[in-house]
Structure 1
């Protein structure tokens, strides 16, 4: 009784001095709970002195769910946790996480928990408590009344404990989407609306999957319908195959994409585009327009090895292409998860878990799409398999998921079940209350399911480490891409001026070597030939190349050392005079003509070589064959260093005073021989276009 009285006195003092005012979203919200604690005969058992007031309230609620008391939960934690988790500086937060994970593991398996307002508030208050877990934590005095909010770190720690709400890979991007309108802090009304949207999306998926849509396919494969579009006449979906176009209804399941052509009063038999088999599928954005023109960026291109010709699915809308982008993202997510399953040979329970992760990602995206308070959405960033396909090191994230799955299988095989309180709940356990029959292993017992989730009390899991490293690398890529975008200039003439300035050192090196080769300064050319000839003769060419690389690396290191803290040196380019539209068009035409001339010259060279190789012109072929035979004998009989030395001396002494006249004579004879070779004949045949309409 003395302990209970002391506890009541402490709480009364905290309420009176205003330390808890920042928690009161509504004045009566915590007051009722304090009154209940004050009047409870077990008040002492529901107070942990190491925890802050709000953490005590959260732990007390967790204890109610687990039908125990706070002190018993603390004792259980002390027995199960390792010594590293009980370090005083981390004890309060680790104890809080333990109580939260243990309560959520039980609560999240109850049917309709997302509809429960107390569950939504509990998960949010867990985040609040996570930010100030210790009794010594400073109260966040800037949080008053309706401005109570939580930060990124707290959200990413608690939300993935319930896989329906978030997962480790996308939780940062999800938080950014939810808090974009509230200054980077998440408020409860938005969070509550988000959870309501997920519940709504789950009900829609269940209703569609249990309806008569695709009943034959559903009965044989058990597919779940994730999204439907094209049922409203004002927003049709158009399928383009070849030159034919049909409006219809588009359906996405967890295994395939279906398109049903719209007839007069009903839909035709659905076409199935399989996303689960390894068919070399390609899904990408596409342009469409009338009579084959490419004007509107509102379509999805799909092709696979099982189709004779690709299909283009168009999503018409008045402005923008948000509708297409959404469908492109969710189609890719299903395709990516099946590629993941096929690549790693995932089967059974692990396969069901991977599919559910993709499905839950799409449900979360649907909930975000329905929220008007959220700004522009990057769909791919909220879907984990899409995100892994784009992130640097995303393949390492997927490999880590597979490794975690195998580790859990091994633990089950050894009958070594980890303590549930130390881990968050798994995907299959948290969705077991939805009533779905999912995959071949859905009817397995609870013992056959994966026991734990992706978050561990007081520790950063291997998956979290890999995700963090990958996102850090992605930030570097984004930063580098920003410099690339900032360095781009407009205009052909301006880009040529920039390129000329960047290639200036190489151009100077070329001029120097050309001067040596043409013996403009006989003394320098003689010294150059003797020096490099000696290096080749002694077999030091490899050492010389290594020395050049070492010198370049040393230059880079010295430059980095002396340039630390200094602004980046900009490339200064003298901009050419501006060109009007007509001058730019003429410049483009000239560039195209020059490119065409180069291609023609290249084709002539190839046609002449074809004639020589096939002996279409025997006299010229004999000379070439003799030259190739001589070169082959030299390669076979002479050591390679002598051949390199001969080639080097031949190139750099061609225009020396003693050889210049002879070289010019040989060049003239070679040109005469080359121009005397006819090109092989070319015959152009036009393909006949098949204009048959379906």
Structure 2
């Protein structure tokens, strides 16, 4: 009987567990809940990049399922377990460093390119440096170390190929300073295209980490870190955050759920270029190095605040930064210029928690921590920037004819304005032209020109606001404001080559005409033809005299009168004769001479110069 009861109870427990598992399988965690809860688990997510991690895990779904989450956790644990199994005995210099990841396998080799030669090898990334161990022809190993903690360390994507060609877009160039040679590494990935980008994110995160420490952390050897509780461990906290971020990116790489830009998943690299990222980095610095005061600050520790309490406390009016739990971040550590930005000043003025209960600087009930507040603002600004960039990318149309059509469509309002003005000038509608001239001369002789530009701006702003209101009411339609152009007809390769050749010929002709005009102006200014220079100088002198003696409104009235009477019968022949005279005079102006020297290689020229310098002393010795 007892066995039957135990078996029945066990069966019921299994059914309950199965039911609970099925219940979890059908649920999805949304972005808002994930961003709020996931960073609370140490190492699982960072607050600044939690929304990007959600997008990577969710993919095209609206949320994260339990199976995806459990797979992510399992892969993350495998990454941490794998780091423990890395053998560091091969590199004695790595004994004090933490190995983060290795890059070497038969399916995914790492190739070093140097002087058009490709050398396979083993790549090791630690929390301080990058090691590449090339395999020689006779089995000899040559290890190259690049220090990633230096100020001038950088990494960038590049292309490599045989014989200096940029054939393969799967490499990066890493250097630890301007004096060191760049290490060009190609990441061959037979199963995908993201390996180079992921390794770029790994290395860039380490470089960004130490850039963050230099800008926002205390200097090396600063004794004031012992005055703040826990400040001496701030650097280790920052390194731990970067190490965990790289581990998460590795786990996502194994799951094949990375974003198109893997740098968005590692916080220090992401915040270097994100809008409002400087403020988020400031909150992280306060979180890492801030803490309660355990020792009375000296004058050197607080140069801006001489009113230090005997108990070691700092008044609220000091220039130090305070976290929500009262932790202090010293003023002398604020070396980054970003602390003086308007966004930073506005953020730190409103850091108090008005609602909720502060349990610690990393845990607030019914409110957010400083890092969460700054990260939320950064996330919102980044979404706006992404939408703006998406519109810019959509406007980048390929093909010269399509871009010409788009340009014509965009300048259509200006074209219509020019056409209407030309109709006014030609007196196609005499009543409209006469009314326009009456208005213009009224503005001129009533001294109302100074009000023209402000009134124009007022009319423009009023029109924009009216359009905004009509669009919000939905009275302009969904397609209002969109630019529409027609695609080009299909053409074969020969037609495209001929069209390109014709376009290049037109561009060449246009450049030749522009160069001729510039050469003629140069000849006039530099007295290349003295008679023409004298005539132009006298004309300019006469014009300047008229501008000095005659009021501007009369000159403007005369110009408008001349402009609107050129096409009339009583002036047409006079204008034609005058324009012909100007054309003849312009064609008679000679262009400045142009001398085209033969091509000469700089290296060969320097070699010839050195040879000549060597021959000269030999000749002097032989003569003596």
Q: TM-score normalised to the size of structure 1?
A: 0.62
* Distance apart, 1:680 and its partner CA: 3.5
CA RMSD of aligned residues (A): 4.6
Matches within 5 A, 1:454-465: 454-465=362-373
SS of the residue aligned with 1:144? helix
2:591 to 678, 684, 692: 678
Pick from 237, 254, 257 the counterpart of residue 110 of structure 2: 237
Q: For residue 175 of structure 1, what is the aligned residue in structure 2?
A: 54
The equivalent of 2:439 in structure 1 is: 531
TM-aligned CA distance change 1:500 to 1:153, over 3 Å: closer
Pick from 20, 37, 40 the counterpart of residue 161 of structure 1.
40
CA contact (8 A) 1:23 1:145 kept: no
User: In the aligned structure 1, how far is the partner of 2:287 from the partner of 2:73?
Assistant: 28
Kindly tell me: are residues 295 and 687 of structure 1, through their superposed partners in 2, closer, same or farther at Cα, counting changes over 3 Å? Answer: farther
Task: Give per-residue Cα distances to partners, 1:189-208, cap 9 Å, x unaligned.
Answer: 65455344444434555665
Structure 1 415/249 Cα, relative in aligned 2: closer, same or farther at 3 Å?
farther
- Would you say the 8 A contact 1:227–1:253 is kept in 2? yes
SS of 2:455's partner is helix
CA shift, 1:546, in A, is 2.4
Structure 2 CA distance, aligned partners of 1:209 and 1:637? 90
1:513 equivalent among 403, 421, 429: 421
Between 513-522 and 539-548, the greater mean CA deviation after superposition: 513-522
2:255 alignment partner, SS class: coil
Deviations 1:210-249 (A, max 9, x none): 545261xx58xx65443332x4355433333564544444
Secondary structure of 2:593 counterpart:
coil
Change (3 A) 1:604 1:223: farther
**Which residue number in structure 1 is paired with residue 506 of structure 2?**
594
SS of structure 1 residue aligned to 2:105? coil
> 331, 355, 364: which one pairs with 2:248?
364
Instruction: State the TM-score, normalizing by the size of structure 2.
Output: 0.68
Secondary structure, counterpart of 1:460 in structure 2: coil
Distance 1:269 1:355 in 2: 25
Taking the aligned partners of 1:142 and 1:202, their CA distance within structure 2 comes to: 27
Per-residue deviation, 1:574:
5.7
Cα distance in 2 for residues equivalent to 1:638 and 1:208? 88
> Tell me, what secondary structure is at the counterpart of 2:46?
coil
Distance 1:532 1:313, change over 3 A: farther
Aligned length: 523
Report matched runs for 1:35-54 at 5 Å. none
CA distance in 2, matches of 1:655, 1:409: 85
The yes-or-no answer on 1:276 pairing with 2:150 is yes
Q: Match of 1:556?
A: 464
Q: Does the 8 Å CA contact 1:25/1:146 hold for their aligned counterparts? A: no
Q: CA deviation at 1:306?
A: 0.8
Partner of 1:105: none
**3-state DSSP of counterpart to 2:172:** strand
Could you tell me which of 475, 478, 485 is aligned with 1:567? 478
CA contact (8 A) 1:392 1:470 kept: yes
In structure 2, what is the equivalent of residue 194 of structure 1? 72
Q: CA deviation at 1:553?
A: 2.4
- Residue ranges of structure 2 left out of the alignment (5+ in a row): 1-8, 221-230, 298-311, 315-323, 328-358, 605-624
Q: In structure 2, how many angstroms separate the alpha carbons of the residues matched to 1:642 and 1:610?
A: 33
Q: Could you say which structure has the greater relative contact order, defined with CA pairs below 8 angstroms and 6 or more residues apart?
A: 1
User: Is contact 1:26–1:146 with CA below 8 Å preserved after alignment?
Assistant: no
- Aligned CA distance change for structure 1 residues 654 and 620 (closer, same or farther; 3 Å): same
Alignment of 1:196-345 (within 5 A): 196-202=74-80, 204-205=82-83, 211-213=89-91, 215=93, 223-229=97-103, 231-232=104-105, 235-241=108-114, 243-264=116-137, 265-270=139-144, 272=146, 274=148, 276-278=150-152, 281=154, 283-302=155-174, 306=178, 312-318=184-190, 320-344=192-216
Give the C-alpha shift of residue 466 in structure 1.
3.2
Please name the residue that 2:268 is paired with.
Answer: 385
8 Å contact 1:197–1:370 — kept in the other structure? yes
**Contact 1:361–1:384 at 8 Å: present in 2 too?**
yes
Distance 1:616 1:269, change over 3 A: farther
Tell whether the 8 Å contact from 1:255 to 1:276 is kept in structure 2 after alignment: no
Q: Is the 8 A contact 1:288 1:296 kept in 2?
A: yes
Tell me how far apart the structure 2 counterparts of residues 630 and 302 of structure 1 sit (CA, whole Å). 64
Contact 1:143–1:149 under 8 Å retained in 2: no
Alpha-carbon distance, 1:630 to partner: 5.6
Distance 1:639 1:361, change over 3 A: farther
Give per-residue Cα distances to partners, 1:662-691, cap 9 Å, x unaligned: 544443344334332223314245353879
1:504 equivalent to 2:415? Answer: no
SS in 1 for 2:141: coil
Measured against aligned partners, the alpha-carbon deviations of 1:168-191 in whole angstroms (never above 9, x if no partner) come to 11122223433449862342x654
